[in-house]
């Protein structure tokens, strides 16, 4: 029985373009929603950089647009709201919908040979639930007493009704809870789709690594997002109904809670969240490096094993965020050991990426440039993370700009650059048009140069002792000499921000007037490129029968038989029986 028969496309405007159950259109909805909030979060970052460069001075352009009441000056009361909303927006409402919502929805069914997600209606509901959470975040900017200002981690007692009174913080916590509901919906859908809807012959050993990354991410989401949701719900009860789950000293009075309980709940989710965002990026990188190096992904099974190992270990390393909370030294040592251990599978992946490129016939197309840049940026972030994993070093570096620099290189910059690689790669499949490659390369080089400069400046400032979240660091005599460093870092950030306007122009123009794309412009063999660009509503007229792995590139036998250096997962070699593909170059690796 065909568990995914061909359904006719919807004919009404609302069902086709608004409340669509088509995974490809939902992917576009997530992409647009994520890009809009990426612009918003980036704008807040520019305000933070201005404050660190020129505290107390009116901000040009932004000041006249958004800070009229204060004469264009970022005030001490406003500054915590800016960095709080920046962090929350970037993590939950920009990178997450792009990397997981958009690319997960687009690639999983197409890459496994399915006609849609296992639960199309649930898929539609997940997007609209997510949109509600974005609306709550926007509303937080406009309520009395301002937006959330307790930091993106929302630690009590700062985030309780006394520490941050008003509806801004409440709406932000509500938004996190609601987006968690949407994430769980999507995670259930992703897991079920990969398990139940794979095309005939699509074994676990033939899945593209992009699908592996998305699937493992979905497992982490389903397991750990409920922990964050529970913490957020209890915090809302404290704020709105006077409960005492996270009230300091309550346990000594009437058996109530403790603020540290929230930190445990937050980081039990919070550290898997790092890998929730980077696992899809790793999968995309593994595939794209193979595609554009024109050779199989090196040690495919090792890459899968490394991602599985990271998924498992991510659940037991969260305590390194809490070294300074007074935990028992033995417990801290355990978390330190597991944190250092998790770098081993990450290093396996890193070496596999380098080996994949080694002696490859590299095509320096725009997606490949972004992927190679991600390898470099993630390497920098990973190396700086080793310092923070060690208890003795973390005691000095904790809560400094060094943590901010590491966090942004590992999670923000790497996720952002992998997202750009994915957009430039799958844009033809999503929209049937090509992005301008010259503008794409200009966008890449400006980003590649200035991302390490911006976050490298943060590492230097943090190593010099500058704490994070300071409204005016130069009130402290021992930090005044860092103002020139922060000013130069801000200049680099402003250039980096301006460079993103090249992408905005390229993206918007190409959606409506870009060059028409061929069905397989990159000449790769995964099932997503066995469809027209863009694909029909039902993806595949005939569900393909998978013959081989996803990285059959550079095989001399294929070159001799077909006259090209690649063969699709759906194709049979001349003289080859269906479903009986001979071992290929990819399997030899």
Q: Cα dist. 441→98, 368, 370, 426, 496 in Å?
A: 20, 10, 9, 16, 14
Q: Is the pLDDT of residue 95 over 50?
A: yes
Q: Percent of the chain beyond pLDDT 70?
A: 96
pLDDT the model gives residue 1: 43
Joined tokens for residue 105:
């929805």
Where do the domains of the chain lie, and which CATH numbers do they carry?
25-249+257-588 (1.20.210.10)
- How confident is the prediction for the chain on average, in pLDDT? 94
pLDDT digits (tens, 9 = 90+) for 488-544: 999 999 999 999 999 999 999 999 999 999 999 999 999 999 999 999 999 999 999
- Give the HSE-up count for residue 430: Cα atoms under 13 Å, Cβ half-sphere: 27
Contact in structure between 4 and 110 (CB atoms under 8 Å): no
Average pLDDT, integer, range 539-559: 95
Q: Is the pLDDT of residue 41 over 60?
A: yes
Rounded-to-integer distance, Cα 118 and Cα 120, Å: 6
Q: Is the pLDDT of residue 366 over 90?
A: yes
- Give the HSE-up count for residue 87: Cα atoms under 13 Å, Cβ half-sphere: 18
pLDDT bucket at 589, cuts 50 / 70 / 90 = very low
Segment (H or E) for 375: helix 366-389
Q: Is the pLDDT of residue 585 over 60?
A: no
pLDDT digits (tens, 9 = 90+) for 287-322: 999 999 999 999 999 999 999 999 999 999 999 999
Q: Cα dist. 209→112, 189, 351, 400, 468 in Å?
A: 11, 18, 16, 36, 36
Closest listed residue to residue 540, CA positions, set 553, 529, 531:
531
Q: Is the pLDDT of residue 426 over 80?
A: yes
Count of CB atoms situated within 10 Å of the CB of 174: 22
Predicted TM-score of the model (pTM):
0.95
CA torsion 490-495-500-502 (nearest 10°) is 170
Rounded-to-integer distance, Cα 270 and Cα 318, Å: 7
Q: Percent of the chain beyond pLDDT 90?
A: 89
pLDDT bucket at 8, cuts 50 / 70 / 90 = confident
Count of CB atoms situated within 10 Å of the CB of 6: 15
Average pLDDT, integer, range 186-209: 97
Average pLDDT, integer, range 236-243: 93
């Amino acid at each position: 029985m065909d568990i995914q028969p061909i359904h006719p496309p919807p004919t009404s405007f609302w069902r086709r373009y608004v409340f669509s159950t088509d995974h490809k259109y939902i992917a576009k909805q997530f992409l647009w929603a994520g890009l809009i909030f990426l612009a918003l979060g980036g704008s807040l970052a520019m305000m933070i950089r201005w404050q660190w460069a020129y505290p107390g001075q009116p901000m040009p352009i932004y000041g006249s647009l958004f800070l009229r009441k204060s004469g264009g000056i970022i005030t001490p009361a406003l500054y915590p709201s800016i960095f709080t909303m920046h962090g929350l927006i970037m993590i939950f409402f920009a990178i997450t919908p792009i990397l997981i919502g958009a690319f997960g929805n687009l690639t999983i069914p197409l890459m496994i040979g399915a006609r849609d997600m296992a639960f199309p209606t649930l898929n539609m509901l997940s997007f609209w639930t997510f949109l509600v959470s974005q609306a709550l975040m926007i509303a937080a900017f406009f309520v009395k007493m301002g937006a959330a200002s307790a930091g993106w981690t929302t630690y009590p007692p700062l985030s309780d009704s006394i520490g941050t009174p008003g509806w801004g913080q409440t709406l932000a916590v509500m938004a996190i809870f609601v987006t968690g509901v949407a994430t769980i919906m999507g995670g259930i859908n992703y897991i079920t789709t990969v398990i139940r809807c794979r095309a005939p012959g699509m074994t676990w050993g033939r899945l593209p690594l992009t699908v592996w990354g998305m699937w493992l991410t979905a497992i982490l989401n389903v397991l750990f997002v409920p922990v964050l949701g529970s913490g957020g719900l209890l915090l809302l009860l404290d704020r709105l109904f006077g409960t005492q789950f996270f009230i300091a000293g309550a346990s000594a009075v009437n058996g109530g809670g403790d603020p540290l309980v929230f930190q445990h709940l937050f980081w039990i989710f919070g550290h898997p969240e790092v890998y929730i965002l980077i696992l899809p990026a790793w999968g995309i990188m593994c595939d794209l490096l193979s595609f554009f190096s024109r050779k199989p992904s090196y040690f495919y099974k090792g890459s899968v094993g490394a991602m599985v190992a990271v998924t498992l270990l991510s659940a037991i390393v969260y305590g390194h965020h809490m070294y300074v909370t007074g935990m028992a030294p033995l417990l801290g040592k355990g978390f330190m050991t597991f944190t250092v251990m998790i770098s081993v599978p990450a290093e396996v992946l890193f070496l596999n990426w380098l080996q994949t490129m080694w002696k490859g016939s590299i095509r320096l197309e725009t997606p490949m440039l972004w992927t190679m840049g991600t390898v470099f940026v993630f390497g920098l972030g990973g190396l700086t993370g080793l310092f923070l994993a060690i208890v003795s070093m973390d005691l000095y570096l904790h809560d400094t700009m060094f943590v901010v620099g590491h966090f942004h290189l590992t999670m923000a910059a790497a996720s952002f650059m992998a997202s750009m690689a994915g957009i430039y790669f799958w844009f033809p499949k999503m929209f049937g048009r090509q992005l301008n490659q010259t503008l794409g390369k200009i966008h890449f080089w400006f980003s590649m140069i200035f991302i390490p400069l911006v976050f490298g400046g943060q590492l230097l400032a943090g190593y010099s002792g500058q704490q994070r979240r300071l409204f005016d660091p130069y009130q402290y005599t021992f930090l005044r000499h860092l103002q020139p460093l922060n000013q130069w870092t801000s200049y680099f950030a402003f250039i980096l921000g301006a460079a993103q306007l090249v992408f905005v122009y390229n993206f918007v123009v190409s959606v409506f007037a870009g060059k028409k794309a061929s069905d397989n412009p990159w000449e790769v063999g995964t099932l997503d490129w066995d469809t027209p660009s863009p694909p029909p509503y039902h993806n595949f007229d005939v569900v393909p029968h998978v013959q081989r792995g996803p990285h059959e590139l550079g095989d001399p036998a294929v070159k001799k038989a077909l006259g090209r250096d690649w063969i699709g997962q759906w194709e049979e070699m001349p003289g080859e029986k269906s479903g009986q593909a001979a071992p290929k170059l990819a399997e030899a690796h």
